[in-house]
Amino acid sequence: MIVNKIFLPELWFFFDIFDNKSVLAFKNLSCKIGIIFFNKHNMNQETFFDKILPFKKICTDKNQFFLVNYISGRRCFFGSKGAFIYLSDLRKNFSKVFCKNLRRNNFLLATSIHNEIELRIACKNNFDLIFISPLSKTKTHPEILPHSSINFIKLCFKQKRIVFALGGATNINFKRVKNKYLVGFGAIDFFLNLNIKKQCTIQKK
């Protein structure tokens, strides 16, 4: 699928529906922010699909762009714009036929990569949205060293296609690596912190 970056959100919230702070942040987000419902707890996919239904309705009502984290290729989650699939799950749980079926339903395919080898795999499998990680240190994976700004930018230019930053991303560190292929970024803490600041401002008033 040819992705037109004009119609894509520049910012993406990786939303854990079982985290109360994330739920509050989600409810306060602009409809211009893309949502990725990610299965942080590796829940059974059918159960996960059922759990996100109330939040899907909110996205639909707000006309908000959202993707759903697939961990196996069994059935499609209709209503979303596409599927976020980790490369490790792609190798284990997805057939080429299932991915073709997703594309027939005009689903975008998104993933995250951490090095040049994974970038090549993502491009070979025709992923539409690729998140390069980590941009900075993260709370979720403190043991993983972030890319230097130079190496991050080099990865952006390797395949000459639009990419997004992920992993400790903020407006400040995003500006350090911004280039013609880097469209925006995905994050968790960035949006949680935005919501905290917003609530503090409301309380002061």
For residue 136, is it left (φ>0), alpha (ψ between -120 and 50) or beta? beta
- Tens digit of pLDDT for each residue in 127-180? 999 999 999 988 777 788 999 999 999 999 999 889 999 999 999 999 999 999
Task: Write down how long the chain is.
Answer: 205
> Residue 110 is inside which H or E element, if any?
strand 108-113
| Rounded mean pLDDT, 36-55 | 93
**pTM score:** 0.90
pLDDT (tens digit, 9 = 90+) per residue, 60-114?
999 999 999 998 887 788 889 999 999 999 988 888 788 888 888 888 999 999 9
DSSP state of 78: B
**Maximum CA pair distance of the chain?**
55
153 C-beta neighbours (distance < 10 Å), count = 17
How far, CA to CA in Å, does 80 sit from each of 6, 30, 103?
A: 18, 17, 13
The position carrying tokens 């984290």 is 69
pLDDT grade, residue 199 (50/70/90)? very low
Compute φ and ψ for 23, nearest 5 degrees: -65, -45
CA distance 150 to 78: 39
Q: Is the pLDDT of residue 204 over 60?
A: no
Confidence of residue 196 (pLDDT cuts 50, 70, 90): low
Placement of tokens 């922010």 in the chain:
33
Which CATH superfamily does the domain covering 10-204 fall into? Aldolase class I (3.20.20.70)
Chain-centre distance for alpha carbon 57: 19
Q: Which amino acid is residue 102, in one-letter code?
A: L
C-alpha span between 45 and 198 (Å, rounded): 34
